[in-house]
Every structure is written in structure tokens, then in C-alpha cells.
Amino acid sequence: MPSPEANRLAIVTGAGRGIGRAVALALAREGYSLCIAARTRAELEQTRKLSELPAKRSLIVLVDLADPDGPENLFDAAMECFGRIDVLVNNAGFAPPRTPLHRLSPADQDRMLAVNLRAPIALARMAAGRMADQGGGTIVNIASAAARTTSAGESVYAATKAGLVAFTRASFAELREHEIKVSVIVPGLVDTPLIPPNKRLDRALMLSAEDVAAAVMQVVKSPPHVCPVEIAVEPQRNPLRSRPA
């Protein structure tokens, strides 16, 4: 008997690698059809291959979410292909190398604001309208522990992630009566290509992308009367090595 999720769609942004790929694969294993979005086709093709979903149940959308029209173009493509949206995972993000605020370029500032905050809000707004008409759905935003505690050189990045946490809590309050779950995952250090080699980090102690995907699935698979609005996930042991004496 087909899974009840077989006719349900999940949109995952930043799905070409790392956390986004792990989330997409976890959703595919649960039987969801996928709309996977990123800027690099080869990476998305690999995600689709790993998902083992046929082309009719997996849509690749090349999109730059910093483009003002990017979120709407992505959502329209998904609706044209599948006609519904059951899960939205706002995972795509951008973080330049740590840079003091007074040296941060306007281009990097604007890209962080667009990709990390404006695009998730736009996609959540469009998804919420469709989910309300369908009778419910799930929106999961991927934030960062930088929303709580951050290092020098990450002021704008931290602000975007803190804004995403606040947006999640406010939109949950607005959408809960429409049977729409809204949750934010707040992970600590995750071993992905976005974090370059660093002698101070013990990568073996960091979270894996699959750990974050498991938190996403905790939301997706939660009972109808429960919404885990915020899930913080940290490595059990601190990956930051102490500086030599």
C-alpha cells in the first residue's frame, strides 16, 4: 500500500549539499515528493539521485534566493508541478568569512539579509496561504546558535538568524489555528563544507547534517496536537579545542 505521504510535497531550499541534502533525503525516505532548490544543478542532481525518487516525484529548481523574484519563482514552479505544499524547509543560508561590521561590504550585508531572512519569510508567507486552504502543513526554519551567542565578525549573520527565530515564534502564534506547524531548528556547530578547515575545531565532535535532519523530522512527524516550536541541537562535547597554554 502506498505511503500516505506519497502525494505530499516538501520544498527544501539549499538542498544541494549539507543540511539541505540530509533533510531532503530524510523526507524522501518518509515518502514525500520533493521540490529541491539551490544554485548548482550538479549538486541537486546528486541529491535527487540519492533520494531514489523518480523524476515525476522530484523537481529541481535552480534559484538564487537573493534575487527579489527568487522565492516567488521557486514557489510558482513547485505549485505548477505539484499543486500543493505540505512541508517547507527554509534551509538556504549565506555567511561570508567573519568580517568586522565596519569592513563588511554592502553586497555581503544585503545578501545575508535577503537569503537568511527575506527569502524564508517570503516562502513561508506563500506556503502558509496554500497550507491554510489545504487544512494544514509544516514550516521548518533552520537558524543557528549564532542567534543566541555569537563571535566578533558575525553581527549581521547573527541578526538574520535571531530574526528568523523571532519570525518563527510570531508566525506560529498566527498560524496555529489553521493547523499549520511552524518550527525553528537552532543547531550548534555542524560539520558541513560551509565551515572551512580550522585547527581549533575537532570536527569529529561536531554535529552532522543528519543530526539536524533528525530534528527536522521530529517536527514533521510530531503528533497533530503537538508543535515543537523551537529545537536547539548542540554537540554533546565542545568541538572547540582549548588554545595552547
> Catalytic amino acids?
157
List the one residue out of 129, 159, 125, 124 whose CA is nearest residue 140.
124
Cβ atoms < 10 Å from Cβ of 72: 14
Distance CA 212, CA 220 (A): 13
What are the CA-CA distances from residue 176 to residues 132, 144, 172 (Å)?
10, 23, 6
How far is 183 from 138, CA to CA, in rounded Å? 8
Q: Collapsing DSSP states into helix, strand and coil, what is residue 88? A: strand
| CA separation for the pair 196, 8 (Å, rounded) | 36
Sign of the dihedral through C-alpha 15, 54, 25, 230: positive
